Amino acid sequence: MKRFGSSDSLGALISICAPKDATIVNAEEKCAETNHQGYSKEFQAMLDSLDQEDCSEEFTGKKRRLGTDQVKALEKYFEVENKLEPERKAKLADELGLQPRQVAIWFQNRRARWKTKQMEKDYSLLKANYDSLKLSYEALQQQNEALRKQVKQLKAKMCREIEESSQSMKEESPFSGHESNALDHTRENKAEFHETYGNYAKSKDGSSDSDSINGVTKEDHGKPEFSLGPKGLSSSSSNSMKNWIQISDNYSRAFSVKICQPQFMRMEDQTPFSSDESCNFFSVDQAPTLHWYFPEQ
């Protein structure tokens, strides 16, 4: 039933369309039937009463388009249900004066068209979503870029400030010479300090040096001012030394602790110095290290 070529279709057409109560018959079928002999008088009379206009078009075996009303009716049925039950198909074919096969083919083609349109709709929807997403992405990218620039500027500014403060400390330092000289001076001064202040502590209460820390007794902590010793260092230079030590101490607390513990943080994330932007402010050439301050470490 499903398979028939164009030669078969005429025979199938004739066999199908021996209508008992058909009111509408396709012109193609009508013409075919007209040419066929052996129908009852009643059927022949019905055929004769059919629209002569349609029959005047000689059937050439070519395709014919469905009528507007037929298409409208089929569309209406398609809206309700896009697949046909065999009974419904037969009924519809009967109502519209078409072969059941024609109805089936029409539905099949209609489903194909619907699918294509649906795919186009889906594509448009997806494209719209994609475009919207792309716009958001680009906006975020621009925002990201602006923030990166800002971070870069802030890093540079911070570096400059650190460099400036480092420079000012360098100028303020009593050890303007090479670091090794500074270290020598420090050791020398420390020895003097030990000698002088240690003796002072001993002479004061006769106690041993055990209560003193690096020559400074517990009681001496918090003293507003003290002298490093009578030999070689004046009062003003010792003040300067004390200030330098204080500044350096604060400085090391403020920066070196973080910088010397890279295992706890990502430098590029948590310090203003990325690997390529580091100011190297602890380098020998630029600023004094604090080795001299704790030579035993």
Partner DNA sequence: TTGTGTTTTATTGCCTCC
Partner DNA sequence: GGAGGCAATAAAACACAA
What is the Cα–Cα distance from 238 to 227, expressed in whole angstroms?
Answer: 7
If binding is defined by CB under 7 A, does position 119 make contact with DNA? no
Q: Which two tokens stand for residue 251?
A: 């400085």
- Of 62, 88, 65, the C-alpha closest to 77 is 88
Q: Which of the ranges 46-54, 56-64, 147-155, 220-228 carries the binding residues for DNA, by CB under 7 A? A: 56-64
Q: Report 145-184 residues binding DNA (CB under 7 A).
A: none
| Cα distance between residue 285 and residue 179, in whole Å | 9
Indicate whether 292 belongs to the interface with DNA (CB under 7 A): no
Q: Which two tokens stand for residue 152?
A: 């870069």
C-alpha angle 260/151/261, rounded to 5°? 10
Told to check if 2 binds DNA by CB under 7 A, we report yes
Stretch that binds DNA, among 4-12, 177-185, 255-263, 266-274 (CB under 7 A): 4-12
d(CA 40, CA 18): 10
* Distance in angstroms (rounded) separating the CA atoms of residues 196 and 107: 113
Choose which of 72, 115, 121, 160 interacts with DNA (CB under 7 A): 115
Q: Which stretch binds DNA (CB under 7 A): 99-107, 176-184, 257-265, 278-286?
A: 99-107
3-state helix, strand, coil in the chain (%, to 5): 65, 0, 35
For the chain, the straight-line distance linking the first and the last C-alpha, in angstroms and rounded, comes to 102
For the range 66-72, what are the long-range contacts, defined as Cβ-Cβ under 8 Å and sequence gap of 24 or more? 66/98, 66/102, 66/106, 70/96, 70/97, 70/98
| Nearer CB in complex with DNA: 68/210 | 68
Beta strands per DSSP E along the chain? 212-213, 216-217
Binding of DNA at residue 73 (CB under 7 A)?
no
Q: According to CB under 7 A, which one of 15, 21, 53, 62 is a site residue for DNA?
A: 62
Among 25, 46, 47, 104, binds DNA (CB under 7 A): 104
Size of the site for DNA (CB under 7 A): 28
| Contact region with DNA (CB under 7 A), list: 44-52, 57-65, 151-159, 267-275 | 57-65
Count CB neighbours of 19 within 10 A. Answer: 16
**Residue with smaller CB distance to DNA, 108 or 181:** 108
Among 32, 77, 106, 212, binds DNA (CB under 7 A): 106
Binding pattern for the stretch 7-46 against DNA, x by CB under 7 A and - elsewhere:
--x-------------------------------------
Is 105 near DNA (CB under 7 A)?
A: yes
Check residue 63 for interaction with DNA (CB under 7 A): yes
Among 18, 45, 81, 109, binds DNA (CB under 7 A): 109
**Does residue 54 contact residue 65 with C-beta atoms inside 8 Å?**
no
Question: Can you tell me which of 1, 80, 254, 257 binds DNA, judged by CB under 7 A?
Answer: 1
Interacting residue ranges for DNA, rule: CB under 7 A = 1-6, 9, 60, 62-66, 71, 83-84, 86, 101-102, 104-106, 108-109, 111-113, 115
